[in-house]
Chain A
Amino acid sequence: MTAETLLYLESVSVSFDGFKALNNLNLAVGSGEMRAVIGPNGAGKTTMMDVITGKTRPDEGRVAFRNYALTSMDEAAIANIGIGRKFQKPSVFENHTVWDNLELAMKANRSAVASLLWKLSEEQRERIASTLKRINLEEAAMRRAGGLSHGQKQWLEIGMLLMQQPELLLVDEPVAGMTDAETEKTAMLLRDIAQHAAVVVVEHDMDFIRALGVRVTVLHEGSVLAEGSLDTVQNNQRVIDVYLGR
């Protein structure tokens, strides 16, 4: 194990109308670690993300981030202690400009009063500008985010996460529907982020995961089936059964 444990899920179970989306799930992610989570549809990947970010309350179990018990916090509070999330569908604020999207995501006091009195400092202005450059959207800065292409939206969202400066980043299928070139660029951006934060990536694309070259956790029917390097889990008989069996 690397460094200290940052995120810790212990015996987490969630059920919807009797269907067990998560079943006694255990997971630990270290500080600064990058982790890939794979699994067939309905394995509980998205539900796991929902539980960590406070969208879904677990029926049982404990979820800890640093010294915080996440199960008793709401989405906003969890986001504010440094957990960022990128959704499967690109979700940017379509009616705002690319610039405003980044400005809203930038780490700052989130209270209503602070927002009313908010004034962008020169330094912050430059940070936004440099992020725009990093995600290749300088030219589109003043365009409505709704007018961006699919890939551009994905990058903008990653840019927003960069502005948010999270300690832990949850990324849901970042390269779905992307061209090869875009996929490569995305992998680069993620590795970039991973230098300052722990990252959990959910992905179906095995090539992409291989490109990331990180530890892999396989979920199946709401619990962990296997864990290790991509080669190890790919040779695991149970994993093969689940993916190829039936």
Chain B
Amino acid sequence: MGTFKNILSAIFFLVSVSVASAQDVGGLVDSLATGSFSDRGNAVASLVASGSPVVVPILQALSDGNLYVRKADSKVFIATESGEVFKLVDPATGADAGTAQKAEIDKIKVNNSLRETISNAMSGLTLFSKDGKTRKDAALAVLKSGDATALPALEKAIAAESDPSILAIMKTAAAAATLKSDKPDDAKLAAIDVLSKYTDRDTASLLTAYAATVEGALKDQALAASAKIEASLNSWAVVQNVWYGLSLASVLLLAAIGLAITFGVMGIINMAHGEMVMLGAYTTYVTQLLFKAYLPGLADYALIAAIPMAFLVSGAMGIVIERSVIRFLYGRPLETLLATWGVSLILQQAVRSIFGPTNKDVTTPSWMSGSIDLSGGLSLTLNRIAILLFAAAVFAGLMILMRKSPIGLQMRAVTQNRPMANAMGIRSSRIDALTFGLGSGIAGLAGVALSQIDNVSPNLGQGYIIDSFLVVVFGGVGNLWGTLAGAVTLGIANKFLEPFAGAVLGKIIILVAVILFIQKRPRGLFALKGRWVEA
């Protein structure tokens, strides 16, 4: 409704600059007050045919019952009740026309068929709106209904349109309208051709429905076009699943990549990994609160500030856990698993005690809201794109850190041959703490991303821990590329299964498949081979 008001004001603006056409309209408007309902229908049609933008508010007023005729001179006005009297507005110019008593004017009556004529006509007329989105919506409405009466207006609109993307939709809409019009067959064949290029489920069903009403070449063409659209829709569906899959994969990657460090590289089973993610999400929440309180102008950038904060909070917590618990349990993976599970219970309960058990609201900054629409009904939401890029950046950053930096070199040295690393002067216990802190810090980064798409609650991490382990194990322990491949494979497989298996069953199938896979290849997708991997 709000948009409609905008359209109206835009049109009033138009009116003031095109008084000439407004005067022609004035005569036509007055004819609305005379004759039978069918005469009024014709008058509406003439108004629409004028193509003048001022027609829209007039028709709207007529439809709403706000159009009145002054008994004294049979002139038509848009009237609004204002206390005792009615305020009159000249419909053609939008100028104030004084007031009138209720007895002085008569409401112009409409019936249902007239109302329908008006509404069809209106959709044609909004094609001339100043607002691109309104024009596009109007064209899409015609495309969906295939209303032949809109054709003349459409053709005018096409002639006036400058935005190529809207123009394309208008032409397609015109083609749809052509099918139902009384135009010659070759025009219709051309229209089918135009429609066949528009990949959309409604267009396909419109064509199929049309094919049922005609015979011969038109029928064949319409069916062929419909089939072509279906085929292209199916390939779009694949693209869409890949996109959803990649989107899920980026989330899995973020959740799992920290684990790939702590579990994959160090061999530590950290059951509190999910809680590191959860802490990252809560850090995001707190950062946002602080920004709202102290830097309201920059609130949109709280999320950016939360990235290093979350890394530090989760990383520091990781170091604390490593120094206080895990270091006493090296070489005893099952005990580590149990102790870190205990840590996870404590962290969850601590967060629950501090922040309460309910979900916390983390708002999406404006620069991450909205979406990019592609044809085929595919819409890429900006927050998902941001998370995908973020995951890729974190992965690349980690890769560079592990491969190129001195600290990464030391980390690899310690995990591969601890005594030798010690002999070379590396303080392995310090490296252990740092490596674990790094893995935990990355989990915190995952929390920043997840705060945008999941509920920030004390249980946030629980939902990801099993998935993360599966990704790491599936990809091959000790191999970051494997983790990437694992995340992408599981993410995409999940989304391809969902359409026909449902979300829950799809997940179960994935779980069972990974269990079977691990039994087939216990060392994962990218297994290291050789003597040193022997248990």
Binding site for B on A (CB under 8 A): 16-17, 19, 21, 47
Contacts and interface: CB of A to CB of B under 8 A. Distances in A.
Give me the 8 closest cross-chain CB pairs, A-B, nearest first.
A16-B530, A17-B529, A17-B530, A16-B529, A16-B531, A19-B530, A17-B528, A47-B531
Interface of B: 528-531
If over half of B's interface residues share one DSSP class (helix, strand or loop), that class is named, otherwise mixed; here it is loop
Nearest to A15: B529
A16 to B, nearest CB: 4
Contacts of A19: 530
Contacts of A47: 531
Nearest to B528: A17
Contacts of B530: 16-17, 19
Contacts of B531: 16, 21, 47
A103 to B, nearest CB: 26
A47 B530 CA distance: 11
Contacts of B528: 17
A202 to B, nearest CB: 15
Nearest to B531: A16
Contacts of A17: 528-530
Contacts of A21: 531
Contacts of A16: 529-531
9 contacts: A16-B529, A16-B530, A16-B531, A17-B528, A17-B529, A17-B530, A19-B530, A21-B531, A47-B531
Contacts of B529: 16-17
A200 B529 CA distance: 27
A47 B529 CA distance: 14
A17 B531 CA distance: 10
B521 to A, nearest CB: 14
A16 B529 CA distance: 6
A17 B528 CA distance: 8
B417 to A, nearest CB: 16
A16 B530 CA distance: 5
A17 B532 CA distance: 11
Nearest to A55: B534
A171 B531 CA distance: 19
Given A16-B529, A16-B530, A47-B531, 6 more contacts: A16-B531, A17-B528, A17-B529, A17-B530, A19-B530, A21-B531
A111 B246 CA distance: 49
A32 B529 CA distance: 36
A16 B528 CA distance: 9
A103 B528 CA distance: 38
Nearest to A56: B531
Nearest to B530: A16
A13 to B, nearest CB: 14
A17 B529 CA distance: 6
B148 to A, nearest CB: 71
